[in-house]
Structure 1
Amino acid sequence: MTDQAPLRTGGRAARRAARAAPLADHLRPIRPGMSGGQYSPLSDADVLRLHTAALDALERIGLADAPPSGVAYLTAVGAVLGDDGRIRFPRALVEDTIAKANRTLTLHSRDGLHDLDLSGTRVHYGTAGAAVHMVEPDGRSYRESTVQDLHDAARICDRLDNIHFVQRPMVCRDITDNFEMDMNSVYACTAGTTKHVGVSFTDPAYVAPAIEMLQMIAGGEAAWRARPFVSNSNCFVVPPMKFATESCLVMEECIRHGMPVLLLSAGMSGATAPGSIAGAIVQAVAECLAGLVYVHAVKPGAPAIFGTWPFDLDLRTGSMTGGSGEQALLTAGCAQMHRFYDLPGGAAAGIADSKLPDMQAGWEQMCSNVMAGLSGLNMVYEAAGMHASLLGFCHESLIMGDDLIGQAMRCVRGIEVTDETMALDQMAAVCMGGPGHYLGTAETLGRMEMDNVYPALGDRTSPKEWAERGKPDLIARATQRKTAILAERSAARFDPALDMAIRARFNIHLPA
């Protein structure tokens, strides 16, 4: 409580200054990795039925199109190659893999200050996606995304307390060569933030050069393998129930080089996955269990995230809807399956179908973000900045999303019931001979920063004060903060000698 002492002495200015000072980490009202799991959309019996159905699907249906190397790995551990070319997974093999899988996983940051503990129901929010457009809210327009936009997004995320990791949220549309696009994506993200980064690769041959760059940044192969600060987002399946051949080869390469893998199954409910929420969850779970067997066949114990990412479909139009209540339930249901398996897991939430950061975007983003956190989802991907059902990314929305996620994390924290928080002694002091209110009491001042999350941009002034301040606009304030962040040099930038060495080896499109 020593951090709170200044709040109880001195004048109003001193108290305000003390409140403005950052709290010690253990006193902050919200922190990365707070435990969720309070919300369970499925009963225990439902969870068991979904698990049994997933095992049945793997045993009866299996997955098609495994690469020859994948067939060799999988059959060596007990999977069965059928005459129809499908790999089937005996129940005992799957259950044995689940039993042996890692129950804890740390996704490292480059600076060691933002490591993510994925054990239990610890919750972390971050970006993700492959948007091809940038949203320009001032002009209410869309344009193609660039490598500079990606770098700027990483730099902004580095400054946002409630964005805990940075998975590449948009594609560098200004780089047409796939190899150079992949290398520049790695560079743009890692030069923009020291938080954990997630990237994708379009060809297995591109993994080794990317690892070379990452080892240069880490300070050698041993340092990289000890603390891999970049993971691979890998769409190893093409739903329904088929392996994605090239992505599987990428996955094998990443595992060999010590890079953690996100096993990403992204079926579309009603199109590439069953139209029911339960059916879409069963298929995603089955596909990710197959991926887990694959990973452990390549290297037992290799770090992997159980990435059930089923998406919802608006069956009236055939368009994806990431902002629906059904999407929120899909993600929450998947999070509960992760809890059942006690495996590090991730899924998508926080997506807006709205084209702009408006009221529709607000309700869409908050609904699924809160439900994901309350469900105890370890990695909440695409939690901020995503619009138009993943087609557009917005820097201003990313900044406003930091406020939104702060409120979601406060919901995750929940309500602490102790003798102190029930406050009977305080009630007695205030009501019997006291001032008759709690404003300004030592207890109120002592807990106001530890218990409450205050928005950085959200406006809580009265209409009169709002008018006196010139009726500030939320998006305009987000643009101002974006401009201020990008006006400063990136704290994550590389040492000049290292940057020169990387540029000598790779064709980096960002200016030095």
Structure 2
Amino acid sequence: MNSWLEVLKPEEIEEIHAASLEVLEDVGVEFQLEEARAAFQAHGARVAGSRVYIPRLLIEQALTAAPERFLLEARNPARSVWIGGGETVFAPPAGCVYVQATGTARRSAVPADYIDLVRLVHQSTHYGTNGGGIVIPEGDFGSDEEKFAWLLLAGHWYSDKPQMGLNLGAKVSRLALDFSRMAFGGRPGCRILGTINPDSPLMFSPEMLASLLIYAREGQGLIVAPCSMAIATSPATLAGTLVVNNAEILAGLTLAQLVRPGTPVVYGNTSTIADMKTMAIALGAPELSLLVLGTAQMARRYRLPSRAGGSLTDAKEPDMQAGLESMLSLLSTVAGGVSIVMHAGGILDSFLTLSYEKLIIDEDTGGMAKRFQRGIEVNRETLALEAIADRGAGGNFLDHEHTLKHFRNEIWRPQLSDREVYQEGRDYQAYTLAKATQAWQKRLEGYSRPVLPEEVEREMLDFYHQRFGSEPVLDV
């Protein structure tokens, strides 16, 4: 297509920008870490207690310093991905605490689930990144710190795709950078991409700020992504929510650039609404998709990569509700031109549950969305005048050389969607889920672990043992 799907007029974008600057200068942002406040104060910002009032000049300078796109490196260079610049990269879920597979009830994730999911994502052509905290498993770990270290280690151990980081305070962030440094053999570049979530409205916790500072000092990638709920933690109006979110993102981005100009920062947002009946987060709401589109437009206004949306739903099983909500959120995300899409598959129950079947089904959802966004290419070759003249009225194009030349690229084909002739007695909902089950099980059977140099393996294992006094269990 020649343009992205947009919901804001140019003048409305500027109104949101101006309102956000007013909020940053007059209302201020709570930075609950002295080191962060000191960085702002050293550059002329007014600080009162834990609140920082950020002048627009600092914002403008930070936006000038931040890159429009950057290369997120993979251990296997062929799998590195560009974040920004018009391409959309899909990333797996993050932070799910439960898993579900057809025929079984929802249960708490365990370490074996994490390894299986990393293996599945590793082999997928849908997901461009891997690792981080696809699920947060229960297990026999001595501490939460050890659990997160194990997640980081296992991500590098079982995949050579670009890795998502973990940002849960200083210790975990340093672990993420340590493991990425070892995996890359000290090779420079942006080796990991972490997420910083403000506490809406207008506040950053000590843990998030410590993580931001650690990543920024080493020039590693950061996504600054609010997750506010309109009505509860941001204004009821979507425009007001965008103002609060924009102010939060600009505040985080500015701090990163003060620490190290040129730090890769992604303009992120996972905000939606609170359901007025339950006050629960509503991921399947159309308002989420509107905020996704507005987020992408604001990011383009600032010439920044964006992160928003996903294949999101509040449904508890991969049913009709899951399908319609996931397609709305993912199609709007891709059509809006979002650069990197976390939670691009597998999500159920408002981020809580990862479905093995939906992880595969959403590969079709994403494929449909990308094909839709690619649009219709019109040129002399695609107009097919020669083929039309050759076959003429009443002709058939099935075996024409023009068809053979173009059908693989022009026509998208699903791996699971049913296009067969109707068969009596078939339970079609169960049939689709069964195909998804077979697909992920077959993929696991065909998994082959990518080569990790022996000296790197030894360094990682020794580091883990020295840090936690135990050996990581990786063959589960």
- TM-score scaled by length of structure 1: 0.86
The 8 Å contact of residues 328 and 349 in structure 1, kept in 2 or not, is answered as no
Aligned to 2:467: none
Aligned to 2:422: 463
What is the alpha-carbon distance in structure 2 between the residues aligned to residue 489 and residue 415 of structure 1?
36
What is the alpha-carbon distance in structure 2 between the residues aligned to residue 229 and residue 455 of structure 1?
32
Q: Secondary structure at the match of 1:191?
A: helix
- For residue 417 of structure 2, what is the amino acid of its counterpart? G
Aligned to 1:201: 167
Q: 1:510 to 1:297 in 2, by over 3 A?
A: same
What is the alpha-carbon distance in structure 2 between the residues aligned to residue 468 and residue 326 of structure 1?
37
Aligned to 1:91: 56
What is the alpha-carbon distance in structure 2 between the residues aligned to residue 462 and residue 157 of structure 1?
32
Higher relative contact order structure (alpha carbons within 8 Å, sequence separation ≥ 6): 1
The structural deviation recorded for 1:37 is 4.6
What is the alpha-carbon distance in structure 1 between the residues aligned to residue 289 and residue 40 of structure 2?
34
Q: 1:52 to 1:472 in 2, by over 3 A?
A: same
1:344 to 284, 305, 318: 305
- For residue 184 of structure 1, what is the amino acid of its counterpart? W
- Residue 450, structure 1, aligned to residue 415, structure 2: no
Q: Secondary structure at the match of 2:241?
A: helix
- Residue 256, structure 1, aligned to residue 224, structure 2: no
The structural deviation recorded for 1:146 is 2.0
Aligned to 1:228: 190
What is the alpha-carbon distance in structure 1 between the residues aligned to residue 163 and residue 83 of structure 2?
15
- TM-score scaled by length of structure 2: 0.93
The structural deviation recorded for 1:356 is 1.0
- For residue 88 of structure 2, what is the amino acid of its counterpart? V
Aligned to 1:494: 452
The 8 Å contact of residues 151 and 191 in structure 1, kept in 2 or not, is answered as no
The structural deviation recorded for 1:346 is 0.7
Aligned to 1:240: 201
Aligned to 1:43: 9
- Residue 110, structure 1, aligned to residue 68, structure 2: no
Aligned to 1:8: none
The structural deviation recorded for 1:489 is 4.2
- Residue 64, structure 1, aligned to residue 30, structure 2: yes
Aligned to 1:361: 322
Q: Secondary structure at the match of 1:99?
A: helix
Q: 1:424 to 1:90 in 2, by over 3 A?
A: same
Aligned to 1:143: 107
The 8 Å contact of residues 36 and 375 in structure 1, kept in 2 or not, is answered as no
What is the alpha-carbon distance in structure 2 between the residues aligned to residue 241 and residue 400 of structure 1?
37
- Between stretches 405-414 and 340-349, larger displacement belongs to 340-349
Aligned to 1:169: 134
Aligned to 2:122: 158
What is the alpha-carbon distance in structure 1 between the residues aligned to residue 236 and residue 457 of structure 2?
49
- Residue 427, structure 1, aligned to residue 385, structure 2: no
2:334 to 364, 373, 389: 373
The structural deviation recorded for 1:446 is 1.4
Cα displacement string for residues 431-457 of structure 1 (whole angstroms, at most 9, x for unaligned residues)? 25xx62222211122111011111112
Q: 1:321 to 1:52 in 2, by over 3 A?
A: same
The structural deviation recorded for 1:173 is 2.4
Structure 1: 4+ residue segments shifted above 4 A: 466-472
What is the alpha-carbon distance in structure 2 between the residues aligned to residue 257 and residue 278 of structure 1?
35
The 8 Å contact of residues 132 and 145 in structure 1, kept in 2 or not, is answered as yes
The structural deviation recorded for 1:397 is 0.8
The structural deviation recorded for 1:217 is 1.5
Aligned to 2:66: 101
What is the alpha-carbon distance in structure 1 between the residues aligned to residue 156 and residue 3 of structure 2?
31
Q: Secondary structure at the match of 1:473?
A: helix
The structural deviation recorded for 1:493 is 5.5
Taking only aligned residues, the RMSD between alpha carbons, in angstroms, comes to 2.2
- For residue 320 of structure 2, what is the amino acid of its counterpart? M
- For residue 195 of structure 2, what is the amino acid of its counterpart? S
Aligned to 1:285: 246
Q: Secondary structure at the match of 2:267?
A: strand
- Residue 483, structure 1, aligned to residue 420, structure 2: no
What is the alpha-carbon distance in structure 2 between the residues aligned to residue 438 and residue 468 of structure 1?
33
What is the alpha-carbon distance in structure 2 between the residues aligned to residue 71 and residue 365 of structure 1?
40
Q: 1:90 to 1:452 in 2, by over 3 A?
A: same
Cα displacement string for residues 99-121 of structure 1 (whole angstroms, at most 9, x for unaligned residues)? 23211211112211222222333
What is the alpha-carbon distance in structure 2 between the residues aligned to residue 493 and residue 327 of structure 1?
40
What is the alpha-carbon distance in structure 2 between the residues aligned to residue 306 and residue 86 of structure 1?
22
Q: 1:53 to 1:483 in 2, by over 3 A?
A: same
The structural deviation recorded for 1:368 is 1.1
Unaligned runs of 5+ in 2: 465-470
What is the alpha-carbon distance in structure 1 between the residues aligned to residue 57 and residue 189 of structure 2?
33
Cα displacement string for residues 56-89 of structure 1 (whole angstroms, at most 9, x for unaligned residues)? 111111111331100111112222113x541011
Q: Secondary structure at the match of 2:283?
A: coil
Cα displacement string for residues 140-197 of structure 1 (whole angstroms, at most 9, x for unaligned residues)? x211112221221111111111212235322122246111111111112222322222
Aligned to 2:468: none
- Residue 473, structure 1, aligned to residue 435, structure 2: no
The structural deviation recorded for 1:472 is 7.5
Aligned to 2:365: 404
The structural deviation recorded for 1:278 is 1.3
- For residue 444 of structure 1, what is the amino acid of its counterpart? T
What is the alpha-carbon distance in structure 2 between the residues aligned to residue 283 and residue 273 of structure 1?
7
Q: Secondary structure at the match of 2:90?
A: strand
The 8 Å contact of residues 124 and 380 in structure 1, kept in 2 or not, is answered as yes
The 8 Å contact of residues 165 and 176 in structure 2, kept in 1 or not, is answered as no
The 8 Å contact of residues 36 and 123 in structure 1, kept in 2 or not, is answered as no
Q: 1:76 to 1:54 in 2, by over 3 A?
A: same
Aligned to 1:186: 152
Unaligned runs of 5+ in 1: 1-34
The 8 Å contact of residues 168 and 197 in structure 1, kept in 2 or not, is answered as no
Aligned to 1:12: none
Aligned to 2:283: 322
What is the alpha-carbon distance in structure 2 between the residues aligned to residue 312 and residue 135 of structure 1?
26
Q: 1:50 to 1:176 in 2, by over 3 A?
A: farther
The 8 Å contact of residues 90 and 127 in structure 2, kept in 1 or not, is answered as yes
What is the alpha-carbon distance in structure 2 between the residues aligned to residue 42 and residue 130 of structure 1?
31
Q: 1:470 to 1:263 in 2, by over 3 A?
A: closer
The 8 Å contact of residues 384 and 397 in structure 1, kept in 2 or not, is answered as yes
